[in-house]
Amino acid sequence: MLSIKNLHVNVDEKTILKGLDLDVKAGEVHAIMGPNGSGKSTLGHVLSGRDGYDIIDGDIQFQGKDLLELETEERAREGLFLAFQYPVEIPGVSNMEFLKASVDAVREHRAQAPCDAVSFMKQARAACKEVNLNQDFLKRGVNEGFSGGEKKRNEIMQMMLLEPTLAILDETDSGLDIDALQIVADGVNSLRSAQRGFIVVTHYQRLLNYIEPDFVHVLANGKIVKSGDKSLALELEAKGYAWLEEEVA
């Protein structure tokens, strides 16, 4: 469903991604690991269409479409979801308004009628419960005053409501305690299906104990330098990243 070829990306005229290739098929979970500064988060931002990331070379196909030709909101409507490493606080816009606006936009794109307010409220409350967020959160401003863990769980809740085809989790495990990690992982695992793909970006192997990947890739110095199965993650945990960077160099 996602095919990235030879992706080169500049940020502030500095090349961050230097020829990244990645293929994700429906039903697969890909973990992308790598040292700080290797370009892991850049990948998520580029896929989401954030400003300030210049694609200088390469191609991204998503569900048979040229992803780079689509606006950010069109990508989301086509089924791409990015769980942010640092979700944005938007005071004054309630979580509920925000969730309804986004679910309606995606439904409209799929030629489905907008949810009526009552049934959506039910759905949202159920999703809250699944990620163990108090329902009061629906009334509060988007992520306003949420703790780090609450923000991450809010991301997972949005993912559940939007039912994306491809979800990218950008360091969703950072700043989570074990209980929150379990909740986040349960949320992801509940959505795993033969129709859906995941890219799990993480610095640590820990998350992969909870979300078992089909493939593990190591991103270093702007490209994928090694790919393997989940045992690669354990090897990285034991040996660190330095040996790989040396191997590549």
Site for another protein, residues 125 to 164, rule: CB under 8 A: 141-142, 158, 162
Binding mask 162-191 for another protein (x = CB under 8 A): x-----------------------------
- For residues 49-88, which are near another protein according to CB under 8 A? 49-51, 71-73, 75-77, 81-82, 84, 87-88
Q: How many angstroms separate the CA atoms of 187 and 191, rounded?
A: 7
Tokens found for residue 169: 């989790």
Q: Which residues contact residue 178 at a Cβ distance below 8 angstroms, ignoring those fewer than 6 apart?
A: none
Q: Which amino acid is at 181?
A: L
Site size with another protein, rule: CB under 8 A:
33
Question: Per CB under 8 A, does 48 bind another protein?
Answer: yes
Q: Does 123 bind another protein (CB under 8 A)?
A: no
Does residue 41 interact with another protein by CB under 8 A?
Answer: no
Q: In this chain, which of 6, 25, 91, 179 binds another protein, going by CB under 8 A?
A: 91
Structure tokens at 176: 């989570």
Tell me the window of 22-30, 47-55, 188-196, 235-243 that interacts with another protein (CB under 8 A): 47-55
Residue with Cβ nearer another protein (11 or 93): 93
Burial label for 14, CB within 10 Å (0-12, 13-18, 19+), is exposed
- Dist. CA 180–CA 100, nearest whole Å: 25
Distance CA 43, CA 9 (A): 9
Question: For residue 114, how many other CB atoms are within 10 A of its CB?
Answer: 13
| Residue 204 binds to another protein (criterion: CB under 8 A) | no
Other CB atoms within 10 Å distance of the CB of residue 174: 14
Residues that bind another protein (CB under 8 A): 48-51, 71-73, 75-77, 81-82, 84, 87-88, 90-94, 97-98, 100-102, 104-106, 109, 141-142, 158, 162
